[in-house]
Structures are given as structure tokens and as C-alpha cells.
Amino acid sequence: MTDRPVPVLLRHAAPYGEEPTDVLLADGVIVALGADAAAHPAAAGAQEIDATGRVLLPGLVDLHTHLREPGREDAETVGTGSAAAALGGYTAVFAMPNTDPVADTAGVVEQVFRLGQDIGLVDVLPIGAVTVGRKGERLAELGAMATSVAAVRVFSDDGDCVSDPMLMRRALEYVKAFDGVVAQHAQEPRLTVGAQMHEGAVSARLGLTGWPAVAEEAIIARDCLLTDHVDSRLHVCHLSTAGSVDVVAAAKARGTAVTAEVTPHHLVLTDELAVGYDPVFKVNPPLRTDADVAAVRAGLADGTIDIVATDHAPHAQQDKECEWDQASPGMLGLQTALSVVLETMVRTGLLDWRGVARVMSENPARIGRLAGHGRPVAVGEPANLTLVDPDATWVVRGSELASRSANTPFEGRELPGRVVATFLRGRPTVLDGQLVGADVGAGLGTRGE
Ligand SMILES: NC(=O)N[C@@H](CC(=O)O)C(=O)O
Ligand SMILES: [Zn+2]
Ligand SMILES: [Zn+2]
């Protein structure tokens, strides 16, 4: 994969959905943009793609993906997850460390990083665990992960909260040395013992143990105060409640270096979906209420919430098709995220395409300190790009997704917007909505047991 990519000439592509123009990609960068791009010397022998009616965006960046390798390759691998990411329009994903073994050493993060490079469909950036084994007892070797070839900048015990305030303080202090960030899974464990779904009218009706909004909001508030105290940087994972939006807005107003993400599913789905007891709708944090959905959409529109992150959480069939209380929480997200954002934020007038680029590419790259991604569509910039047909619709079928698991909460749903092509450093990873030119391993296409 070190040979030079064939130049690509995109005809009549619309950067950010604005004026259509020609865009020439060569040697991994955007070399020309405009009516004279075809006449550029580097256009000789270029592959031409008719992009009429298509929106050109910077390649999407997911700050929160679960790739399950090492340890649960029956649910996902770096290969199948990379394929899902490329098909979803992503050029980079940050991989959560709740694997087996946990990504809490330089050795494991380097292994994941190299797997991603070998597959070559997206850049895979490992997230390092905050604590050894994610046990919440003592800090992992954050510095060794930061200085490894994986150059880790994001640290998280995701799946669990760093609930001990002293450990959280130490982590926030430690990551300052290399401009890192602690990404917190905000869940006060004492307030969520045995929790099965959002605590509210629906949980009362169903008789399921509730996960109250305050369990999230209390941790976010505490961590913002700790972040101020040690003058560090905090990222809030999968923010899900109206109250959390208020807490982050207040912290930002007084200058806290906090950023926050919302998942696509929290932008559209609610706790009412639990009534059928179908564990495909079980997720952590849980689906909330209509009022929360409205608040997180408004928070994303006004910048209180910085990014959309998928929290792509593949689970094997036996871990999802069982009793609700036994099921693993989590949902697929990589191949549906852009469509959900189009439906909930663009079609509603809350964001334009520049806004989509901001929350799905520019801001996540900036928060993760990832160079070369999240850059503007402009001459001289790396050709990490995604081309979207905004008028197409498609019906989601879990069995047809590239992920090795099928636990999409959008099964059978018609969604707007289709990723037509994705380019990683000028090389197509997806063309005509299909994967190109990569060996994602023997597992792709064989799912479940
Ligand atoms: N979101 C989830 O419901 N599950 C995630 C863990 C997490 O993001 O907390 C997983 O790893 O499956
Ligand atoms: Zn989490
Ligand atoms: Zn997660």
C-alpha cells in the first residue's frame, strides 16, 4: 500500500453542499479545486468520478468506537470495524480500550494501531485505559502509551466510570504532560446499581430498575470542577440528558476546557422503545426521553455539545438475543451515523453541511489531537474525504452491514443519505457505496454463530 495512488478527479462535487466544482486528488492531497482542475498536470491518467449532486465533506472522524479486538473477534475485528467505518464515510476512528486484554499498555495500543495500519481502510487510533485493567484502582502507564508509536492522546475507562475522584484528578493532571484528554464515561456507579434503563415513567411502568439522569449529571459536574482545579482537559462521552447539556454549558461559560459528545442514537431514539423488551434497544447510557432528545439536538446545534461520536458497540448474537437484564448494552453505529445526523440535524434545519463537517470531522480530530484529519476541503490539504448522496435513501439491514455483529437499532428503518465514496490520503476505500482494495480478513461477511 505504499505505491502512489492513481489520481482522482471528482467532477462537479459540492464541498459542504455549496457550489459544485471539480476536485483533483493526487499524491494523497487535494492538488486542485475549481473549473481548471482537469487541466492540472497532475490530472493526467486520473480516474474520473461523476459527483454531480453529491456533497463533499472532510473524512469523518469517530472519537468513540469499539472494535473488540483483541479478545472478542466474534463480535468485531479491527478489519470488520474498519470496513464498517469506511462504508460509513469515516477516515479515522478512535478505538476504545475495553478489550481483552485491556489496552492499558504500550504493547496493546501498538498492536491495535498496527492492525489498523495493515488493513489500511481507516486510521485506527487506540484510546488508552486510564486505570490498570480498567479496574479503577491505580493509573495505567499513560506516559508509555503516549510516547508509543500509537501516540495515544485520549484515555478512557469507557464501559466504566473513573468514579474515584482522586484517581480522576491524578489522570487529569497526568495527561497534561502530553496534551492528552480524559474521556469520561459519566456514570455514578452507586446510583446505577442493577440499572436496566432510563429511570422515569417507562421504567416504573415496566418494573425495570432505573438509571437516573442525575447519575450522569453528577459525575459531569464533579469532573468539570476537577478539570478547573488542575487546569486540564476533559471530554464527556455519550452525553444523554437535558441536565447534562446544562451542566456542560455552565462549565463552558466559566471557561472549563470541557468537550462533549452525543451519539446518533441519543439524537433520535427514546426509552419508549424498551416496552417491547427487545435488547437491541439496551444501551449505556440508556435511551432517554423526548425532552432529552430535544435538548441534546439543541446542544449540538449551539455548540454546547462539540461532536457526534458513534459509540459503535458490536455484540455477538448470543449477547443480544436473550433476556433484557442479561443482554450486553450497546448498538452498532458506524454505518448509520451520518444518515441519522442528516435526518435529525440537517433535515430539521439545526445544522448545515458545514456544521456536519464540524461535529463529525473537525472537532473530533481536534479533541483527539489527530493531525491530517478534520482539515478543510482545500488545496494542499490531505485528501481524507467522503462523498455523500444526500438525496438517496436506504433501508437498514443489520445482516448487510460490514460489522461482524448485527445489533443495529435501526433495523428495517429507511434513512436518508448514502456514502458514495470515501478517500484515505487520496486512495478510494469505498466507491459506488462498495469497499475497494483492502483485505479486511477472513471474517468479513461471516457473522454470528
Ligand atoms: N455503550 C454501551 O452500551 N456499551 C459499550 C460500553 C460503553 O460505551 O460504555 C460497549 O463496550 O459495549
Ligand atoms: Zn461508555
Ligand atoms: Zn463506548
Contacts of 254 (CB under 8 A, 6+ apart): 228
Q: Are residues 282 and 321 in contact, defined by beta-carbon separation less than 8 angstroms? A: no
pLDDT the model gives residue 4: 85
- Are 374 and 70 in contact by the 8 Å Cβ rule? The answer is no
356: pLDDT confidence band, cut at 50, 70 and 90?
A: very high
What's 160's domain CATH number? Answer: 3.20.20.140
Atom of ligand 1 nearest to the CA of 159: 9
C-alpha of residue 99 to centroid of ligand 3, in Å: 11
Residue 99, in any domain of the structure: yes
**278 labelled as ligand-binding?**
no
Query: How far is it between the farthest Cα atoms of the chain?
Result: 69
For residue 9, the CA-to-ligand 1 centroid distance in Å is 40
Is 24 a member of any domain? yes
Query: Residue 449: what pLDDT?
Result: 32
Residues 36 and 67 in one domain: no
pLDDT reported for residue 200: 98
CA of 343 from ligand 3 middle (Å) equals 23
pLDDT band at 439 (very low <50, low <70, confident <90, very high): low
Cell of 42: 497532475
Question: Residue 3 — very low, low, confident or very high, per pLDDT cuts 50/70/90?
Answer: confident
Instruction: Give the CATH number of the domain where residue 18 resides.
Output: 2.30.40.10
- Ligand 3 centre to CA of 225 (Å) is 23
Q: How far is the CA of 351 from the CAs of 5, 6, 16, 267, in angstroms? A: 34, 34, 12, 13
Q: Is 67 annotated as a binding residue?
A: yes
State percent of the chain over pLDDT 70.
97
Q: Does any domain span residue 164?
A: yes
Q: Which bound ligand lies closest to the C-alpha atom of 185?
A: 2
**Ligand (nearest to CA of 331):** 1
Q: 157 alpha carbon to ligand 2 midpoint, in Å? A: 8
What's the CA gap between 224 and 213, in Å, rounded?
17
Q: Is 172 annotated as a binding residue?
A: no
pLDDT digits (tens, 9 = 90+) for 113-128: 999 999 999 999 999 9
User: Cα–Cα distance between 162 and 130 in angstroms, integer?
Assistant: 8
Q: Which among 188, 311, 408 is the best mutation to test ligand 1's pocket, defined by most ligand atoms within 8 Å of the CB? A: 311
328 Cα to the center of ligand 1, angstroms: 8
- Is 50 exceeded by the pLDDT of residue 250? yes
185 lines ligand 1 (CB under 6 A): yes
Same domain for 395 and 322:
no
- Altogether, the residues listed in the chain come to a count of 449
Q: Which atom of ligand 1 is nearest to the CA of 283?
A: 3
Would you say the CB of residue 427 lies under 6 angstroms from ligand 1? Answer: no
**Is the pLDDT confidence value at 30 over 70?**
yes
Do 302 and 155 share a structural domain? yes
> Residue 441: its pLDDT value, please?
52
Whether residue 221 is found in the same domain as residue 306:
yes
**pLDDT confidence of residue 367:** 99
**Which sequence positions are flagged as catalytic?**
311
Q: Are 395 and 317 contained in the same domain?
A: no
CB of 186 within 6 A of ligand 1: the answer is no
| Domain match, 224 and 342 both | yes
- The answer, yes or no, to whether any atom of ligand 1 lies below 6 A from the CB of 116, is no
Q: What is the pLDDT of residues 72-114, one digit of tens each?
A: 999 999 999 999 999 999 999 999 999 999 999 999 999 999 9
Q: Is 442 part of a structural domain of the chain?
A: no
Ligand 1 atom, smallest distance to 328 CA: 12
The residue whose CA has the least distance to atom 6 of ligand 1 is 159
pLDDT in tens, 181-219: 999 999 999 999 999 999 999 999 999 999 999 999 999
- pTM score of the predicted model: 0.97
**What percentage of the chain reaches a pLDDT higher than 90?**
96
The answer to whether 54 is annotated as binding is no
Do residues 108 and 241 both lie within one domain? yes
- How many CB atoms neighbour CB 148 within 10 A? 19
Is 198 annotated among the ligand-binding residues?
no
Residues 303 and 340 in one domain: yes
The answer, yes or no, to whether any atom of ligand 1 lies below 6 A from the CB of 159, is yes
Same domain, 302 and 337: yes
Nearest to 425 by CA among 9, 120, 151, 152: 120
Q: Which residue range is the domain that position 217 belongs to?
A: 58-367
Closest CA to 235 of 198, 195, 279, 184: 184
| Residue 445, pLDDT above cutoff 90 | no
pLDDT given at position 438: 59
Instruction: Tell me whether residue 408 is in a domain.
Output: no
**Three-state secondary structure readout of the chain:** CCCCCCCEEEEEEEECCCCCEEEEEECCEEEEECCCHHHCHHHCCCEEEECCCCEEEECEEEEEECCCCCCCCCCCCHHHHHHHHHHCCEEEEEECCCCCCCCCCHHHHHHHHHHHHHHCCCEEEECECCEHHHCCCCECCHHHHHCCCCCCCEECCCCCCCCCHHHHHHHHHHHHHHCCEEEECCCCHHHCCCCCEECCHHHHHHCCCEECHHHHHHHHHHHHHHHHHHCCCEEECCCCCHHHHHHHHHHHHCCCCEEEEECCHHHCCCHHHHHHCCHHHCCCCCCCCHHHHHHHHHHHHHCCCCEECCCECCCCHHHHCCCHHHCCCCECCCCCHHHHHHHHHHCCCCCCHHHHHHHHHHHHHHHCCCCCCCCCCCCCCECCEEEEEEEEEEECCHHHCCCCCCCCCCCCCEEEEEEEEEEECCEEEEECCEECCCCCCCCCCCCCC
Q: What is the pLDDT of residue 448?
A: 36
Per the listing, cell 435526518 goes with: 343
Tell me which ligand sits closest to the C-alpha of residue 286.
1
Q: Is residue 178 located within the same domain as residue 308?
A: yes
The identity of residue 381, as a single letter, is E
Question: Do 139 and 65 have their domain in common?
Answer: yes
Domain count, the chain: 2
In a domain, 447, yes or no: no
Task: Report the pLDDT averaged over residues 146-170.
Answer: 98
Give 7-49 as a 3 state SS string: CEEEEEEEECCCCCEEEEEECCEEEEECCCHHHCHHHCCCEEE
Average pLDDT over the chain reads 96
Residue 2 within any structural domain of the chain: no
Q: Report yes or no on 139 lying in a domain.
A: yes
> Is the CB of 98 inside a 6 Å radius of any atom of ligand 1?
yes
Ligand nearest to the CA of 159: 1
- Is pLDDT of 390 > 70? yes
Q: 62, 65, 66: which to mutate for ligand 1, most atoms within 8 A of CB?
A: 66
Q: What's residue 440's pLDDT?
A: 61
Residues 232 and 322 in one domain: yes
